[in-house]
Structures are given as structure tokens and as C-alpha cells.
């Protein structure tokens, strides 16, 4: 299992799962969307990304339509080649009918092979259901050995909010959503440091698959606003790089977000 170095020299296990198929646009993408949905529902901090060994230029329209029917918006997703940079925070690679050893062989990351998955282009439902059956076992294994959602997520930051620019947000222990569609999968809450680390959803319109750090601060006496945030990093190449981007200056919230104000938040529910 790959580990990340934390402050003070401690290590913590990575919690990314990488699904890999030939073109990175069909089976691995279907698996990634369903994994992230089910992991969030089950309270796991693990999040998945989709990669290919020989990626397509775009997701086939038929797969876009089928995933939309299942509730997933992937029309803006750009397939990406598997590389060693994907493995630094990865707990497991799931190879779906492809050989990934050229990338993973010296990484120390566990590789699990899924064979005999029907072609989704021929029968989407059969392909999806075959992967979901394996996914149930994968999630059970990860739940037994890995981190679940942090109980330390501050309750005052959870719910639906609007900032002072009119943007709306929905925040849960596992996900920060900038409505309507930009999603950030939270892998770490640090209430003492007042920041979180999240992986950008692959289907986000910009910086998909990269890393974000969000710092926050309480702002008493500014009702209806109760807290404010600074997106300190939003396109960091790795989790470590995002966590190292410590630019927020809470003592001066009017200019403390890299020269700009923190965005103030008021509860909507």
C-alpha cells in the first residue's frame, strides 16, 4: 500500500483507487463513477479515478448517454493515460482486461485484476453489473482495512450554503460540491489546521483529477455569514502538493486568500 508523508514524519495510507482499462473511457469510467457513489454512501474516504493504457480522445456518446441514465454527467470527461504520477497516493489499482505492469511494477501498489467483464459497447447493463458485483467485494475489503469518513468534519461546515457572490455549495463529510456540477472528493479534514484536502472529480469542467486545498475561518459578528473559505489550491498535481500550499492568512480575511478576500458563507438549510 502506498503511503503519504504527513507533517512530523508520520505516514498515512493513500486512499485513491485507480481503475484502468484499454481506452480509459468506458469500463474504467463506469467503474469510477459507481465506485465514488457507493463509497460516499458507505462513508469511505476512498475515491477513484479512471485511467487508460491507450486513452481515447473522448468518451463515446453511447457511454455518455448510458451513464447519464444512471445519474452521472461525464460528457466533459477527458480520458487520461495511466502514469507513475497517479500512484503516489494510491492504495489499489484495478486493471480491467489490461496489463498495467509497465507502470505499476516498481510502485509497491497492490494491483487487482478484473477479467471477463463484458464489453459495455455491446451490453452496457451486463458490463456495469459485472463490475458492480466485483465492486461490492472491493468496497467490503477497503472498509475492513482502510479509513472511513472522518467524524472530525466540523458540523458547522456541513449542509447547503451560499457565498457572498451568489454561488451555492453542498458539503458533506466526503464531498464538497460547487453547484451545479463541480465536485471535490474529500480525503482529509484537519479541524485543528482548519483546512481540507480533496481530489477534483475527473468530470469537472476544469482541473479534473487534480487536487484542492480549502482553508476556512469562523467569522463571528458577520451574520448571516458564519464562516469563510479560501481555495488555497485547486489544480495541485498531487495530494502532497495541495496540502503544502499554505497561503491562507486567517488574521486578515479581507485580503488573506492570496491577496483576495475569503468567500463568506451563509447557511441555506
SS3 state of residue 264: strand
The CA-CA-CA angle for residues 81, 83, 84, to 5°, reads 170
Look up cell 480491467; give the residue. Answer: 96
Pair 196, 176: CB distance under 8 Å = yes
Q: Residue 138: in which H helix or E strand, if any?
A: helix 124-145
Question: What 3-state class would DSSP assign to 115?
Answer: coil
Confidence at residue 147, expressed as pLDDT on a 0 to 100 scale: 55
pLDDT in tens, 189-248: 889 899 999 989 888 888 888 899 999 999 999 999 999 999 999 999 888 889 999 999
- Starting at the earlier edge strand, list the strands of the sheet with 110-114: 47-52, 16-21, 90-96, 110-114
CATH 3.40.50.2300 fits 3-145, yes or no: yes
Q: Are 165 and 24 in contact (CB under 8 A)?
A: no
Domain ranges of the chain: 3-145, 155-267
pLDDT in tens, the chain (269 residues): 343 333 323 333 457 899 999 999 999 999 999 998 888 788 787 889 999 999 999 999 999 999 999 988 888 888 999 999 888 778 899 999 999 999 999 888 999 999 999 999 999 999 999 999 999 999 999 888 765 555 468 999 999 999 999 999 999 888 899 998 899 988 888 898 999 999 898 888 888 888 999 999 999 999 999 999 999 999 998 888 899 999 999 999 999 999 999 999 999 97
Given its phi and psi angles, is residue 46 left (phi above 0), alpha (psi -120 to 50 degrees) or beta? beta
Amino acid at each position: 500500500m502506498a503511503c503519504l508523508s504527513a507533517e512530523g514524519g508520520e505516514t498515512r495510507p493513500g486512499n485513491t483507487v485507480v481503475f484502468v482499462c484499454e481506452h480509459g473511457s468506458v469500463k474504467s469510467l463506469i467503474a469510477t463513477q459507481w465506485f465514488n457513489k457507493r463509497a460516499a454512501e458507505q462513508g469511505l474516504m476512498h475515491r477513484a479515478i479512471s485511467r487508460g493504457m491507450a486513452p481515447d480522445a473522448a468518451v463515446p456518446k453511447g457511454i455518455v448517454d448510458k451513464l447519464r441514465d444512471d445519474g452521472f454527467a461525464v460528457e466533459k470527461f477527458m480520458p487520461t493515460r495511466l502514469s507513475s504520477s497517479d500512484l503516489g497516493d494510491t492504495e489499489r489499482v484495478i486493471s480491467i482486461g489490461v496489463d498495467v505492469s509497465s507502470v505499476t511494477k516498481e510502485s509497491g501498489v497492490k494491483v487487482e485484476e478484473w477479467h471477463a467483464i463484458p464489453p459495455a459497447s455491446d451490453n452496457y447493463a451486463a458490463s456495469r453489473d459485472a463490475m458492480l458485483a466485483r465492486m461490492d467485494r472491493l468496497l467490503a475489503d477497503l472498509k475492513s482495512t482502510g479509513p472511513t469518513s472522518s467524524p472530525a468534519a466540523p458540523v458547522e461546515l456541513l449542509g447547503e450554503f451560499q457565498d457572498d457572490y451568489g454561488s451555492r455549495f453542498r458539503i458533506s463529510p466526503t464531498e464538497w460540491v460547487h453547484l451545479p456540477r463541480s465536485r471535490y472528493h474529500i480525503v482529509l479534514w484537519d479541524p485543528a489546521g482548519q483546512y481540507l484536502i480533496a481530489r477534483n472529480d475527473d468530470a469537472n469542467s476544469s482541473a479534473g483529477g487534480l487536487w484542492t486545498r480549502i482553508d476556512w475561518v469562523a467569522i463571528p459578528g458577520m451574520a448571516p455569514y458564519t464562516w469563510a473559505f479560501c481555495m488555497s489550491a485547486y489544480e495541485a498535481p498531487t495530494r502532497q502538493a495541495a496540502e503544502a500550499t499554505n497561503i491562507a492568512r486567517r488574521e486578515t480575511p479581507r485580503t488573506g486568500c492570496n491577496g483576495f478576500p475569503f468567500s463568506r458563507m451563509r447557511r441555506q438549510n
